[in-house]
Amino acid sequence: MCDACIMRTVAAKLGRRGVLAAVAAAAAAPAMAQPVRTAGISRVVDLTHALSPSFPTFGGSPAIEMEQVNVLAKDGYNMHRLSYVEHVGTHFDAPLHFSAGGAPVDAIPVAQLVCPLVVLDVRAKAAAEPDYQVTPEDIAAHEASHGRIPQGACLALNAGWDAHVGTPRFRNADAGGKLRFPGFRPDVAPLLLGRGAAGVAVDTLSLDHGSSPDFAFHVAWLGAGKWGLECAANLGQLPATGATIVAGAPKIAGGTGGPGRAIALA
């Protein structure tokens, strides 16, 4: 927006509000309208679903309890008390979740939460086989087309599963209660460790596929000191490479992970 346009916009807004002090301060400021600092960002994509009691969970319990403890009309402000177990909604896994002595979520270095984002599209395979496990060969094929996964990256698995979040297909429980959704095959973990990746993301309820008997990918990946993001949204809006994820893990002292805010800058 040009300087003059900004001045007109500001003048219009101030005029509508009629706040003389603000107008005086605005007049005193030099006409050095700065461009919005975008750091090369042209698009912001929210990778986070809204968390409500009905959000699907691995175990099937309500995801969160909310109780309004302050009400505007009586107290002058609104406020709730929240209660939940850490691994609900669009949430992070810290190393401590699956390893004795692993880093809690507050100890993940913040620089490891801002990562080149590589998005692996396995929608077709996931549609054909809900319990699909992504293989080292899938990674190799992606790299052949899009280049090597860079040091410090987050590899995100786009199984198209966020489209199912409001339906039983998201948990996809079979008659015996076993869940069926895609995840990483455990031998992808050493490959990504070799690449120096910092994190992984899935749009399903677990880094391991739904009917995993042993959570072997969790054990290998988190056990190596890396982080994970589960129930990511909107991965389909991103390019295969070139975006950046700002992985807003909650900074709870001693936590094993938890709901946070994951945002992609493209």
**Binding residues among 157-186 for its own copies as defined by CB under 8 A:** none
Q: Which is nearer to its own copies, 45 or 126 (CB)?
A: 45
x/- mask, its own copies, residues 123-162, rule CB under 8 A, reads -------------xx-xx--xx--xx-xxxx---------
Q: Token pair of 121, please?
A: 């599209």
CA distances from 193 to 19, 152, 196, 219, 243 (A): 57, 10, 5, 13, 21
* d(C-alpha 206, C-alpha 237), whole Å: 21
- Sheet containing strand 199-202, edge to edge, reads 44-46, 261-265, 243-248, 114-121, 154-158, 199-202, 227-230, 91-93, 257-259
Neighbours of 150 (CB within 10 A): 13
Minimum distance of its own copies from residue 254's CB (angstroms): 7
x/- mask, its own copies, residues 9-28, rule CB under 8 A, reads xx--xx--x-x-xxxxxx-x
If one asks whether residue 48 binds its own copies (CB under 8 A), the answer comes out as yes
Minimum distance of its own copies from residue 164's CB (angstroms): 18
Q: Which is nearer to its own copies, 72 or 128 (CB)?
A: 72
**Binding residues among 66-85 for its own copies as defined by CB under 8 A:** 66, 69, 72-73, 76-85
The one among 111, 168, 175, 176 contacting its own copies by CB under 8 A: 111
Burial class (CB in 10 A: 0-12, 13-18, 19+), 155: buried
Total binding residues for its own copies by CB under 8 A? Answer: 108
The one among 6, 163, 216, 240 contacting its own copies by CB under 8 A: 6
Which residue from 122, 128, 124 is spatially nearest to 155, judged by alpha carbons?
A: 122
C-alpha 8: how far from its chain's center? 38
**Binding residues among 189-228 for its own copies as defined by CB under 8 A:** 190-191, 193-196, 215, 218
The one among 56, 57, 87, 134 contacting its own copies by CB under 8 A: 87
**DSSP class per residue in 135-200:** -HHHHHHHHHHH-PPPTT-EEEEE-SGGGGTTSTTTT-B-TTS-B---EE-TTHHHHHHHHT--EE
* d(C-alpha 179, C-alpha 154), whole Å: 25
Q: Which is nearer to its own copies, 130 or 204 (CB)?
A: 204
Which contiguous run of DSSP H or E holds residue 246? strand 243-248
Minimum distance of its own copies from residue 40's CB (angstroms): 4
Q: Token pair of 129, please?
A: 């086989």
Q: Which is nearer to its own copies, 152 or 160 (CB)?
A: 152
Minimum distance of its own copies from residue 211's CB (angstroms): 16
Q: Which is nearer to its own copies, 71 or 127 (CB)?
A: 71
If one asks whether residue 113 binds its own copies (CB under 8 A), the answer comes out as yes
Q: Which stretch binds its own copies (CB under 8 A): 126-134, 164-172, 175-183, 237-245?
A: 237-245
